[in-house]
Amino acid sequence: MSKNWRPDLENLLTIEDLGIAFRRGSQVQWATSGISFSIGRGEIVALVGESGSGKSITAMSVLGLLPPHAVYPSGRILFSPDGTKKTNLLHMPEEKLRQIRGAGIGMVFQEPMTSLNPVFTCGEQVMEVIRQHEKISKKEAREKVTSLFGQVQLPEPETMLGRYPHQLSGGQKQRVMIAMAIACNPLLLIADEPTTALDVTVQKTILDLLGNICRERKMGMLFITHDLSVVQQIADKVVVMYGGKMMESGSVEAIFSNPAHPYTRALLACRPGLQPKGQPLPVVSDFWDGDAAVTTRNVFPRLSTAVTPVLPAMVQFEKEARCLLQVENLSVWYPRRKNWLGKTVDYTRAVDNISFDLLEGETLGIVGESGCGKSTLGRALLRLIPATTGRILYQGEDLLTLSSRQLADLRTEMQLVFQDPYSSLNPRQRVGDAILEPMNYHKTEVDRQSRKDRVGELLSAVNLSPSLRNRYPHAFSGGQRQRIGIARALALRPGFILFDESVSALDVSVQAQVLNLINRLKAELGFTAIFISHDLGVVRYIADRIVVMEKGQIVESGEAEALFTHPRHPYTRKLLESIPINSLPSRALHIMP
């Protein structure tokens, strides 16, 4: 996608002084105010900011997708599909607005699993959208969906038509959502965190695809993201939001080369790829106190003087450290095809003959594209899914030979932090009870009161107030829920913790806080960790050694820095070449005052 493109001056969407509030009884709570920007034909505008800044609310208001108690005290949202007549979407009847959704304005939602209907196949759901707006036969719709699935790089498009959402990986589900959004050739596309669940190679492919579609069809796009590396790769203009207000807006070149607002400069500094290993990542609170009036004084100290090493000597594991985990010829196969007698004749080899060692005190990073088998491997190591062949030796004991009772006793030693903290927490259970539950089951403390006291200690350890123990998961932000998940994993004082994509869905500043927390707790408690991620910048920062997986096999492994500077396998080089250029450490100097 060429960055020399210049979109038309003609505005497709214009947002003027938009104010959004939510009415609760007699009270009105403002969510955004004073939001103003425009999107031209073929222009991509990125809306960036932390979780809760008002990005998604602003985007949802364009299509009237906010709940009924949302009100608009000020502003207009003007849509001009033909370049002449401008229509205010805020006052459009629901029936006319329904005609615009999909055909005039498409949307890619943030969470594909909750956006796709689990009882219909992916093909049926995209065909339904097409036939709703276009008078074509079912056969023609099926052919169009097959072509769309090929455009968004889904493997075996014909097969994907008949698969249900639960049968696809997170990245594959996101690509189905993108195919659905562009199916009716909309004039404007709203993409709400469309690449959050995607690995770097697929992310680059999808960004190029979206960018090329916008240029070729002169389709405008509102691109919402917390990944600033993506912004520089795809956007023409940037709007930075905080607390429901615009902090700064301008061209990508101006924002990245000379950010005017301290909040923008802080966001640029929080990226893991810009920070040396062993030093804490900067967070927004280090540079900006949240006061919108503070825009001129120097609140953005240089990284070289703003941070100090965070990892004490105990975390720098010795090469002669004993082996904690040995994996020998591990395979996880799933039946793929059966003959007429019901006998399996073909398998999907999710994990295929993998072997590696994990030293005590080490952090091992596992990276690879979506569907490469890294999460399957992680769950097999903890025996959450059955292994087909091989051995998993934990402290010399083969986990695959243990009975259910023996395995339950060993759970105190091995814990998992899930990718999605919200779905891993019981929405009907208070967070304090969620942390207390494993301690009650295993009776790890002397008495019940000691366990309750430990809940308070764990919440404090993850930088949450013990007074929050009686709240339910929905009352916390994504970053807070992830910290609660970490606290629950630490409740049994494990020697080994597996982090499965634990920071992939977090915005850059919250991600920095969670990574700092993991490093600090690892330094204090000395546990061993496996960190699974598709974000190579994060893995480079936190891991001592990295394993690269492709199609269920390990293609390369080595020390983190050596693997990044001297990759041997072509697949590893392909992954590294897909990292946006502004994620590299050399770019850090460009954001210094």
pLDDT digits (tens, 9 = 90+) for 521-560: 888 888 999 999 888 888 988 999 999 999 999 999 999 9
Nearest partner of 538 among 567, 560, 523, 555, judged by Cα: 560
Alpha-carbon distance of 298 to 320, in angstroms, equals 47
Question: What is the C-alpha separation between 178 and 174, in angstroms, rounded?
Answer: 6
C-alpha R_g of the chain: 25
CA pair distance 115, 128, nearest whole angstrom? 14
Q: What is the dihedral angle through the alpha carbons of 287, 292, 295, 300, rounded to the nearest 10 degrees?
A: 0
Contact 281, 516 (CB under 8 A): yes
pLDDT tens track for 354-413: 999 999 999 999 998 877 889 899 999 999 999 999 999 999 999 999 998 888 888 889
**Which amino acid makes up residue 248?**
E
Tokens of 226: 């917390």
DSSP string, 164-221: -GGGS-HHHHHHHHHHHHHTT--SEEEEESTTTT--HHHHHHHHHHHHHHHHHHT-EE
Mapping DSSP to helix (H, G, I), strand (E, B) and coil, where does residue 95 land?
Answer: helix
Residues contacting 42, CB < 8 A, separation 6+: 5, 7, 8, 214, 215, 218, 219, 220
Residue ranges for the chain with pLDDT beneath 70: 1-9, 83, 113, 170, 196-197, 273-274, 289-321, 505, 580-593
The answer to whether 545 and 557 have CB atoms below 8 angstroms apart is yes
Instruction: Give the Cα separation of 103 and 274 in Å (integer).
Output: 41
Q: Phi and psi dihedrals of 125, rounded to 5?
A: -70, -40
**CA quadruple 527, 531, 535, 539: dihedral sign:** positive
Nearest to 227 by CA among 247, 207, 253: 207
214-234 in b/e form (b: 16+ CB < 10 A) is: bbeeebbbbbbbbbbbbbbbb
Task: Write the DSSP string, 327-383.
Answer: EEEEEEEEEEEE-TTS-EEEEEEEEEEEEEEEETT-EEEEE--TTSSHHHHHHHHTT
Q: What is the spatial distance between Cα 301 and Cα 307, in angstroms, rounded to a whole number?
A: 9
Cα distance between residue 264 and residue 241, in whole Å: 9
Residue 284 and residue 242: Cα distance in Å, rounded? 11
Q: Residue 19 corresponds to which amino acid?
A: G
Taken in order of first residue, the domains within the chain and their CATH numbers are 8-104+219-255 (3.40.50.300), 363-376+402-591 (3.40.50.300)
* 586 in Cβ contact with 559 (< 8 Å): no
Q: What single string gives the DSSP state of each residue in 550-587? A: ETTEEEEEEEHHHHHHS--SHHHHHHHHTS-GGGSGGG
Pairing mode, strands 245-251 and 414-417: unpaired
What pLDDT does residue 197 have?
61
pLDDT in tens, 106-134: 988 877 767 889 999 999 999 998 998 88
> How much of the chain exceeds pLDDT 70, in percent?
89
Residue-level length of the chain: 593
Whether 287 contacts 300, CB under 8 Å: yes
**Are 223 and 559 in contact, with CB atoms under 8 Å apart?**
no
Residue type, 189: L
In the structure encoding, which two tokens stand for residue 117, read together? Answer: 């209907």
What's the one-letter identity of residue 418? Answer: F
pTM, full prediction:
0.73
